[in-house]
Chains A and B, each alone.
Chain A
Amino acid sequence: MKILKLPKEKLDLFASVVQQFGELHAPVEQDGKYVFKRLMRWSDARLEYDRTILPPKKYFLPPRETLFRYRPGEGFVPHTEGLDQRIILFGVHACDVYAINILDRVFAGKYPDPYYQARRKHIAIIGIDCSPDKHCFCRSMRADFVDHGFDLFFYDTGDYYQALVGTALGDDMVLATGSLFEPVDGTDIDDYKRRSWNKRRAFQLEVEIRDLPEIFEMEYQSEIWEELGEKCLSCGSCSMVCPTCYCYDVADHVELGSRAGRRARSWDSCLFASHALVASGENFRGPRASRIKFRFYHKQRGFVAEYGRPSCVGCGRCISACPVGIDVVQVIDRLRRVQDVASR
């Protein structure tokens, strides 16, 4: 992969040049937390953020999205507005890029989702380095580094950002800046390695995922699921903030006083009581315990069977979002019967 470096003080300049490739969006501060938002000025960007409330999936799978408009005599006409809007997501963490790579696989396959694909094609991603906080366990989930899925990725090596160039578009962005970027030499690579070493040591949270399929297979009847069911409020917060939760509901909305309308999809959660409810009244996952169990099994076990790895990337959002303190790391640890959790 092409590696370059950018003096830190030139980042502003880079940001102003890169806007010719699309509307600039980045994390900005909102009530003490961070959200990905369109930048009104570069100084609003907060590149040293912990995590955004919602992951970047909102750009590729919007919380609400019209799929079709329907009019009598016209049928279902796809709604394509905004699908080809050029956006640059500046400042995406490695775990979130990894999550988008996972969504890429879900929305491809035998029936590629054209809405997702169109957005993915038109939205550029510029990744940025980060430091783990107390909820981060991306390294455990093998998502602390991404080798694809971004156009450019900036690593903080002190005076410079080292830039991994991931795509031809990323390369064009570099070229558009003229001579802002410099080549790297052996010393720079050593700086990079040092940065990686320091980052790895900074993780406070660790979870061993190697035997997850085996453990989950054995613990299907564990009493832990009933306990979690008692505790869980079925609020769905964990699904909403999860960068790889993709369940959606579809509903037709009729315009008042006419027979025209639109078909739209919106984020859904397997923790909601209606998720597996069918018209006859039968609910295949009625009890709350069965729903939270399903969420854990689908993420940590089912995905391994289907895609070769858990869909969790260790971003820590569900831990910080859960109103009753359900903690995925603690659940996995307990399933594993790890006694010594005091070291955290």
Chain B
Amino acid sequence: MLLADEVATHHPVLSANPYQPHLARIVRIHKMVENNYLFTLRFAEDHLARAFRHQPGQFIMLSVPGVGEMPISVSSSPSRPEVLELCVRRVGRVTNALYRMRTNDVVGVRGPYGNGYPMQEIMGNDLLLAAGGLGMAPLRSLLWYALDHRDKFHNITLMYGAKRPDDMLFREELLALVDRTDINCLLTVDADDSGTWKNHVGLLPTLFDHAKIDPLRTYAAVCGPPVVYKFILQRLLDLGFPKNRILMSLERRMKCGVGKCGHCSIGYKYTCLQGPIFTYWDAINLPEMI
């Protein structure tokens, strides 16, 4: 197996190749929710596994050899290095191929790319994370980063809503946070047929009734399907949030991840370079953003 270092030695003309995927081994496939598995990867090159650092909110380009490449946000926190956790929904050609792979199979990874959450700005403030459905995937990196650097943040609130308990991503670890007193972890489901759900039942915005939010000293990180943005953004504005304290994570078609291929451009910006984290102010000022 040729490692990227060796490839670079053999091909000096392309020694610094931003498109070069680095081989990574699938070390765990956790069937979290149907069609939303958590893949844990470790770089084949040991020094990369140790040196790789990302910011919460950044993404990587994941290659399934012979099938293609796609952008996936990193769900693990940089405070827990050496492996990368990727929450992948089975939805397209490449993700379907990924779902056919097994533990110890090899994929390609390059990155990290994108701006990530502005951690320096957020630190010292309250943090509100609001996610619906698959929106928990990029926020989970931020969540654990904040909890692992707990002294750098004031109040931390998580609001997460899923359709049913079985649809909740990272359910066990999030349930374990409910009892913690250093975070207000609010979990809700739209409906509970099982009758075993001990947390909130109701739509995501109802969780605001259980949270104390000071809009002028809080950064709100929001992620989810369009319906989540629609209701949560309005709620945050009603509370008096300045638009540059609302952070959104956007997805677009991407082929390069490094600002060349043109697919992810929104108005005048590249999601892969200036995003994928945009403030709500950016969002309403860029054509076609939302």
Q: Which residues of A contact B (CB under 8 A)?
A: 67-68, 70, 72-78, 80, 83-84, 106-107, 109-115, 118, 220, 246-252, 254, 259-261, 263, 265, 268, 270, 275-280, 284-285, 290, 294, 297-298, 301-302, 305-306
Please name the residue on chain A nearest to B274 by beta carbon.
Answer: A306
A78 with B3: CB separation less than 8 A:
no
A268 proximity list for chain B (CB < 8 A): 261-263
A277 proximity list for chain B (CB < 8 A): 253
Q: Which of B17, B95, B106, B263 contacts A247 (CB 8 A)?
A: B263
* Distance A68 CA – B15 CA, assembled complex (angstroms): 13
* Distance A204 CA – B262 CA, assembled complex (angstroms): 33
* Distance A290 CA – B266 CA, assembled complex (angstroms): 12
* Distance A74 CA – B10 CA, assembled complex (angstroms): 13
A302 with B16: CB separation less than 8 A:
no
A250 with B69: CB separation less than 8 A:
yes
Which chain B residues in 1-41 approach chain A with CB under 8 Å? 1-4, 7, 10-11, 13-21, 23
Q: B227 within 8 Å of A by Cβ?
A: no
Q: Which 5 A-B pairs have the closest CB atoms?
A: A279-B92, A247-B262, A111-B258, A302-B268, A111-B18
By size class, the interface of chain B is 35 or more
Q: Which of A68, A73, A106 contacts B19 (CB 8 A)?
A: A68
A109 with B259: CB separation less than 8 A:
yes
Interface centre among B2, B7, B67, B253 (most CB of A within 10 A): B253
* Distance A294 CA – B268 CA, assembled complex (angstroms): 9
Q: Which of B14, B63, B287 contacts A115 (CB 8 A)?
A: B14
Q: Which of A73, A250, A254 contacts B255 (CB 8 A)?
A: A250
Q: B210 within 8 Å of A by Cβ?
A: no
- Supposing A252-B66, A252-B67, A284-B288 touch, asked if A278 and B253 sit within 8 A by C-beta, the answer is yes
- Supposing A278-B251, A297-B267 touch, asked if A80 and B1 sit within 8 A by C-beta, the answer is no
From DSSP, what is the main secondary structure of chain B's interface residues? loop
B2 with A77: CB separation less than 8 A:
yes
Interface centre among B15, B18, B287 (most CB of A within 10 A): B287
Q: Shortest CB–CB separation between residue A115 and chain B, in angstroms? A: 7
Q: Shortest CB–CB separation between residue A113 and chain B, in angstroms? A: 6
* Distance A295 CA – B97 CA, assembled complex (angstroms): 33
* Distance A201 CA – B19 CA, assembled complex (angstroms): 47
B65 with A72: CB separation less than 8 A:
yes
B263 with A80: CB separation less than 8 A:
no
- Supposing A114-B14, A118-B13 touch, asked if A246 and B260 sit within 8 A by C-beta, the answer is yes
Q: B252 within 8 Å of A by Cβ?
A: yes
A67 proximity list for chain B (CB < 8 A): 19
B68 proximity list for chain A (CB < 8 A): 250-252
- Supposing A77-B7, A251-B68, A275-B263 touch, asked if A220 and B252 sit within 8 A by C-beta, the answer is no
A75 with B13: CB separation less than 8 A:
no
B23 proximity list for chain A (CB < 8 A): 75-76
B261 with A76: CB separation less than 8 A:
no
A276 with B268: CB separation less than 8 A:
no
Interface centre among A112, A263, A294, A298 (most CB of B within 10 A): A263
B65 with A70: CB separation less than 8 A:
yes
B287 with A270: CB separation less than 8 A:
no
Q: Shortest CB–CB separation between residue A224 and chain B, in angstroms? A: 15
Please name the residue on chain A nearest to B250 by beta carbon.
Answer: A284
- Supposing A277-B253, A278-B252 touch, asked if A80 and B3 sit within 8 A by C-beta, the answer is no
A251 proximity list for chain B (CB < 8 A): 68
B288 with A110: CB separation less than 8 A:
no
A275 proximity list for chain B (CB < 8 A): 253, 262-263
A73 proximity list for chain B (CB < 8 A): 1
Please name the residue on chain B nearest to A277 by beta carbon.
Answer: B253
A290 proximity list for chain B (CB < 8 A): 288
Q: Which of B2, B65, B265 contacts A298 (CB 8 A)?
A: B265
B92 proximity list for chain A (CB < 8 A): 279-280
A254 with B20: CB separation less than 8 A:
no
A72 proximity list for chain B (CB < 8 A): 65
* Distance A106 CA – B16 CA, assembled complex (angstroms): 17
Please name the residue on chain B nearest to A83 by beta carbon.
Answer: B13
Q: B91 within 8 Å of A by Cβ?
A: yes
Q: Shortest CB–CB separation between residue A245 and chain B, in angstroms? A: 8
7 new A-B contacts at CB < 8 Å, known A70-B66, A72-B65: A75-B106, A77-B2, A250-B261, A252-B66, A261-B66, A263-B69, A279-B91
B261 with A284: CB separation less than 8 A:
no
* Distance A337 CA – B19 CA, assembled complex (angstroms): 45
* Distance A280 CA – B95 CA, assembled complex (angstroms): 11
A298 with B268: CB separation less than 8 A:
yes
- Supposing A75-B1, A113-B18, A276-B263 touch, asked if A250 and B256 sit within 8 A by C-beta, the answer is yes
* Distance A109 CA – B266 CA, assembled complex (angstroms): 19
B21 proximity list for chain A (CB < 8 A): 68, 75-76
| 15 residue pairs bridging A and B, Cβ less than 8 Å apart | A76-B21, A76-B63, A77-B10, A78-B20, A106-B260, A111-B259, A114-B17, A118-B14, A249-B261, A252-B68, A259-B65, A260-B66, A265-B261, A268-B263, A305-B268
